[in-house]
């Protein structure tokens, strides 16, 4: 009888999802190799990351409070502010890696160019060095905020723009990569990056005129509530969702009033029907007249920006804060089940496993409210359990049923949009995951018996 080979795992990426998964595997004495295209850990929170995949800008502070983002097994320093700057987040990540002795197991400046399933279910992984290695299992932790999604009009060959168009992914400061002082600037979007950048550019001594273009209004929420970070006083996950949602919506309306009071378009949806847009400055900037709201852009012509509805403005720079595409460039293009569909949907069992595709795990692939930093720390419990046999997955049909039920529960409060296809409520997700882990450990025990 041939012995089953010991697991050997390939982890793609050393952002927070990759290195927390590595820590769990190391704790279970599971052999792994970890590959990072950059020269350091940190992923999106490594400012000016030489791998070109960081979307951090110079002034960026995280919108999740420290008590919500810190790792379960490595609490943040006591002197951390409520909303740390990106330099503190990166330092925290580096400290985590060094504290647990994970750095020596990361191969830096090396990426994965191709990952192909073998007939036996394992993986052949080709590196940027040209070397190909074999693994029993593959963990994908390459992030989902690095491939910009641009509006259609930005590449419409029938139009032209005399100024500069860039995605917020490339934005570093009001001076880089474009000096925007004294310029007519349009920021496209009303998500968190959009309102951050717009608030920064809206000072009267910065942009000559600062516009924000959006196809719909949003609810902009404050970072603080009654002197506390707002996400610290969120409803607990054991409260029925309908009750929690109704109470939260009432509280938000009482706290911020109507968006039109600030000169903003009224949202066509309830509070918390979109991924939260959080800002300490944007509402004040809007109410002070330092920025001006525009409808959606229809087309470009020279320095003229034509808007839906027939009006137009002149502009020198357009910053598109229009989101990102989920992308796995190392999977073959004809492996449709390993890529998002045309609607940007990529459903997974517990946001980790593709039903029917064994020995493949996705870490951190969710848009989490309020936090994504320690998401993979929780997911790694299931990943390691599957690999070492202490947890058993349901059969693929049951995975599919649970996955669809979970997705409906997480997405029911959100309007349909590409940005919401992988949305979860972190607190409720963790409660569900713990229940599944317990069920999986019981299944594993029964199968052994």
Q: What angle do CA 48, 54, 59 make, to 5 degrees?
A: 65
Q: What are the distances in angstroms from CA 330 to CA 22, 47, 327? A: 20, 24, 9
* Percentage, residues of the chain above pLDDT 90: 87
* Same domain as 305, residue 160: yes
* Same domain as 352, residue 276: no
159 located within any domain: yes
Q: Which helix (H) or strand (E) segment is 385 a member of? A: helix 375-388
* Same domain as 315, residue 169: yes
Model confidence at 58: pLDDT above 90: yes
1 located within any domain: no
Q: For residue 312, list its beta bridge partners.
A: 306
* Same domain as 222, residue 124: no
CA 396/CA 258 separation, integer angstroms: 46
Model confidence at 231: pLDDT above 90: no
Question: Could you tell me if 71 and 377 are in contact, meaning their C-beta atoms sit under 8 angstroms apart?
Answer: yes
Mean pLDDT of 122-140: 97
* Same domain as 106, residue 38: yes
CA 175/CA 373 separation, integer angstroms: 29
pLDDT per residue as tens digits for the range 386-416: 999 999 999 999 999 999 999 999 999 999 9
184 located within any domain: yes
* Same domain as 368, residue 432: yes
Model confidence at 447: pLDDT above 80: no
* Same domain as 238, residue 343: no
* Same domain as 307, residue 242: yes
Residue 5: pLDDT band by 50, 70, 90 thresholds? confident
* Same domain as 338, residue 299: no
Which distant-in-sequence residues (6+ apart) come within 8 Å of 207 by Cβ? 174, 180, 181, 182, 183, 184, 185, 201
CA 317/CA 393 separation, integer angstroms: 51
CATH of the domain at 404: 3.50.50.60
Tell me, what's the pLDDT at 449? Answer: 61
Residue 348: pLDDT band by 50, 70, 90 thresholds? very high
* Same domain as 382, residue 341: yes
Q: What is the mean pLDDT of the chain?
A: 94
Burial 378-407 (b: 16+ CB within 10 A, else e): bbbbbbbbbbeebbbbbeeeebbebbeebb
Domain count of the fold of the chain: 2
Q: What are the distances in angstroms from CA 360 to CA 121, 132, 272, 293, 374? A: 9, 18, 32, 45, 20
381 located within any domain: yes
Which of 320, 335, 360 represents a domain boundary (last residue)?
Answer: 320
Which of 320, 345, 376 represents a domain boundary (last residue)?
Answer: 320
3 located within any domain: no
CA 244, distance to chain mean position in Å, is 24
425 located within any domain: yes
Tell me, what's the pLDDT at 405? Answer: 96
Q: Encode 27-42 in three state secondary structure.
A: HCCCEEEEECCCCCCC
DSSP secondary structure code for residue 168 in this structure: G
Which of 287, 320, 353 represents a domain boundary (last residue)?
Answer: 320
Which distant-in-sequence residues (6+ apart) come within 8 Å of 113 by Cβ? 126, 127, 128, 329, 330
Nearest residue to 249 (alpha-carbon basis) of 269, 232, 266: 269
Which distant-in-sequence residues (6+ apart) come within 8 Å of 146 by Cβ? 44, 52, 53, 54, 55, 169, 324, 327
Q: Name the token pair of 401.
A: 């049923």
Q: What are the distances in angstroms from CA 188 to CA 121, 275, 290? A: 44, 17, 16
CA 179/CA 414 separation, integer angstroms: 37
Mean pLDDT of 345-356: 97
pLDDT per residue as tens digits for the range 24-50: 999 999 999 999 999 999 999 999 999
Torsion over CA: 307, 313, 315, 320 (sign)? negative
Q: Which helix (H) or strand (E) segment is 160 a member of? A: strand 160-161
Q: What angle do CA 361, 372, 146 make, to 5 degrees?
A: 75
Start-to-end C-alpha separation, the chain? 20
Q: Name the token pair of 15.
A: 């952002």
CB atoms within 10 A of CB 135: 21
Q: Name the token pair of 126.
A: 């080709």
Mean pLDDT of 92-108: 98
* Same domain as 124, residue 21: yes
Model confidence at 1: pLDDT above 50: no
What φ, ψ does residue 253 adopt, rounded to 5°?
-60, -40
106 located within any domain: yes
Which distant-in-sequence residues (6+ apart) come within 8 Å of 187 by Cβ? 194, 197, 198, 201, 210, 211, 212, 213, 319, 321
The full DSSP string for 311-326 is: -EEE-SEEEE---B--
Mean pLDDT of 51-68: 94
CA 213, distance to chain mean position in Å, is 22
Its domain, for residue 229, covers: 152-320
Tell me, what's the pLDDT at 3? Answer: 55
* Same domain as 167, residue 214: yes
Mean pLDDT of 373-380: 93
pLDDT per residue as tens digits for the range 136-172: 999 999 999 999 999 999 988 888 899 999 999 999 9
* Percentage, residues of the chain above pLDDT 70: 99
2 located within any domain: no
Tell me, what's the pLDDT at 4? Answer: 64
């Amino acid at each position: 009888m041939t012995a089953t080979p010991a697991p050997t795992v390939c982890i793609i990426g050393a952002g927070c999802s990759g290195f927390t998964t590595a820590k769990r595997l190391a704790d279970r004495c599971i052999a792994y190799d970890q590959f990072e295209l950059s020269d350091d850990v940190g992923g999106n929170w490594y400012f000016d990351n030489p791998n070109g995949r960081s979307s951090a800008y110079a002034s960026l502070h995280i919108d999740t409070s420290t008590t919500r983002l810190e790792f379960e097994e490595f609490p943040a320093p006591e002197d951390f502010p409520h909303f740390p700057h990106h330099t503190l987040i990166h330092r925290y990540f580096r400290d985590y890696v060094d504290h647990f002795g994970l750095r020596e197991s990361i191969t830096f400046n090396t990426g994965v160019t191709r990952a192909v399933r073998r007939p036996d279910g394992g993986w052949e992984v080709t590196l940027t060095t040209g070397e190909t290695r074999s693994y029993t299992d593959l963990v994908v932790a390459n992030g989902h905020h690095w491939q910009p999604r641009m509006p259609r009009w930005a590449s419409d060959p029938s139009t032209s723009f005399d100024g500069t168009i860039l995605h917020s992914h490339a934005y570093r400061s009001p001076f880089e990569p474009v000096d925007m002082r004294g310029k007519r600037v349009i920021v496209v979007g009303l998500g968190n990056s959009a309102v951050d950048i717009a608030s920064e550019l809206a000072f009267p001594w910065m942009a000559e005129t600062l516009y924000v273009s959006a196809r719909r209004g949003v609810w902009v929420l404050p970072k603080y509530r009654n002197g506390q970070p707002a996400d610290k006083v969120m409803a607990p996950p054991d409260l029925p969702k309908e009750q929690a949602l109704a109470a939260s919506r009432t509280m938000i309306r009482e706290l911020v009033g109507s968006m039109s009071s600030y000169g903003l378009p009224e949202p066509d949806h309830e509070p918390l029907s979109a991924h939260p847009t959080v800002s300490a400055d944007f509402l004040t900037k809007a109410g002070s007249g330092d920025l001006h709201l525009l409808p959606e852009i229809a087309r470009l012509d020279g320095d003229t920006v034509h808007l839906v509805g027939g009006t137009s403005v002149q502009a020198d720079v357009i910053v598109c804060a229009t989101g990102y595409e989920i992308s796995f460039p190392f999977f073959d293009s004809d492996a449709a089940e390993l890529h998002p569909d045309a609607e940007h949907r990529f459903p997974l069992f517990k946001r980790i496993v593709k039903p029917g595709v064994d020995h493949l795990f996705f870490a951190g692939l969710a848009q989490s409210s309020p936090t994504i930093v320690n998401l993979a720390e929780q997911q790694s419990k299931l990943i390691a359990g599957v690999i070492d046999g202490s947890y058993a997955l349901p059969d693929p049909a049951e995975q599919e049923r649970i996955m669809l039920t979970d997705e409906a529960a997480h997405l029911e409060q959100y309007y349909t949009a590409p940005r919401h296809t992988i949305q979860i409520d972190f607190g409720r997700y963790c409660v569900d995951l713990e229940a599944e882990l317990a069920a999986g450990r019981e299944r594993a025990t029964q199968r052994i018996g």
